[in-house]
């Protein structure tokens, strides 16, 4: 089997291997994990012709530097990084080439897919790194190698001409469905929820994101621990909102005032800290 070897020269910030994540195990407290922006990740996988839902690199503010010991075909999708590689198209990387992904200049997360079958550790059916690293699938670190088997069970590569590049800076609204405790908000807070401008604070990671806005008020501050999902809006006793994300806990004790539909969540995951948006029904 021909093997593509990619040496991680520099890991960047929180670079991790992700796939579609884990299903059916929330009963045991096991979160979904998996790529945060499913649209961009799936696009990258389809451009290189890999299976939908398979492994790729999720890249944050500062991307990794990769040395390709073998030639490879790659695609970069999602947030724009300051490098010379056009997004959303197939690139051929020659053997010995050093790919410096650079730092993020638009959006929050970028994805690098490499054509082939990734040799990665699976825990509970997924190669996705989970924030606490409870599953001992470490984050990508300098000195590691990515090993990818060429060919085999690969579907033909797709050109992404029909998919326009998203300008993530233009995202200004996020759809939300009222949650089980939405009615606990007082009249003024209910109205404010759809009117006031929100932004993501610096307290945001793969587990969740705290929003910045004037506080909302609810009749009660707590619920007996009950299910929460990626996209669930929890109202903290301070009146601030935390949105749980891919690595978030499976149950929580704060009122759930809303939930961002699964299909809309990628958009939220590309909002930068400070970027303003409205919630819409």
- CB closer to another protein out of 132 and 161: 132
Give the shortest CB-244-to-another protein separation in angstroms. 12
Give the shortest CB-29-to-another protein separation in angstroms. 4
- CB closer to another protein out of 48 and 207: 207
The binding site for another protein (CB under 8 A) comprises 23-31, 123-124, 130, 132, 134-136, 177, 179-180, 224-227, 229, 231, 249-252, 256, 259, 261-262
38-51 exposure pattern, b = at least 16 Cβ within 10 A, e = fewer: bbbbbbbbbbbbbe
C-alpha 134, offset from chain centre: 19
Give the shortest CB-83-to-another protein separation in angstroms. 34
- CB closer to another protein out of 3 and 25: 25
Q: Which two tokens stand for residue 246?
A: 């891919």
d(CA 243, CA 257): 10
- The helix (H) or strand (E) run that includes residue 42 is helix 38-48
d(CA 42, CA 93): 20
3-state helix, strand, coil in the chain (%, to 5): 15, 35, 50
Give the shortest CB-131-to-another protein separation in angstroms. 9
SS3 string, 61-75, reads CECCEEEECCCEEEE
- CB closer to another protein out of 136 and 162: 136
Give the shortest CB-32-to-another protein separation in angstroms. 9
- CB closer to another protein out of 26 and 67: 26
């Amino acid at each position: 089997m021909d093997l593509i070897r990619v040496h991680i020269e520099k890991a960047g910030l929180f670079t991790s291997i992700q796939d579609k994540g884990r299903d059916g195990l929330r009963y045991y407290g096991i979160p979904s994990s998996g790529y945060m922006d499913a649209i961009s990740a799936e696009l990258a996988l389809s451009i290189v012709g890999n299976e939908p839902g398979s492994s790729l690199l999720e890249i944050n503010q500062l991307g990794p530097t990769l040395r390709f010991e073998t030639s490879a075909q790659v695609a970069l999708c999602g947030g724009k990084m300051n490098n010379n590689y056009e997004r959303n198209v197939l690139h051929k990387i020659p053997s010995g080439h050093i790919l410096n992904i650079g730092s993020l200049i638009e959006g929050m997360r970028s994805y690098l897919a490499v054509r082939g079958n990734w040799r990665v550790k699976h825990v509970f059916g997924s190669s996705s790194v989970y924030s606490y690293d409870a599953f001992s699938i470490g984050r990508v670190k300098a000195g590691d190698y990515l090993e990818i088997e060429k060919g085999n069970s690969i579907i033909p590569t797709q050109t992404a001409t029909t998919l326009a590049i998203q300008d993530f800076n233009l995202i200004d609204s996020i759809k939300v469905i009222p949650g089980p405790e939405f009615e606990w908000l007082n009249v003024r807070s209910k109205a404010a929820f759809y009117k006031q401008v929100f932004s993501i604070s610096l307290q945001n990671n793969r587990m969740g994101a705290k929003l910045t806005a004037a506080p909302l008020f609810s009749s009660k501050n707590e619920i007996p621990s009950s299910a929460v999902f990626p996209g669930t809006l929890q109202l903290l006793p301070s009146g601030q909102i935390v949105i749980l994300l891919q690595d978030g806990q499976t149950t929580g004790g704060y009122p759930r005032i809303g939930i961002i539909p699964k299909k809309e969540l990628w958009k939220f995951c590309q909002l930068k800290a400070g970027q303003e948006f409205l919630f819409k029904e």
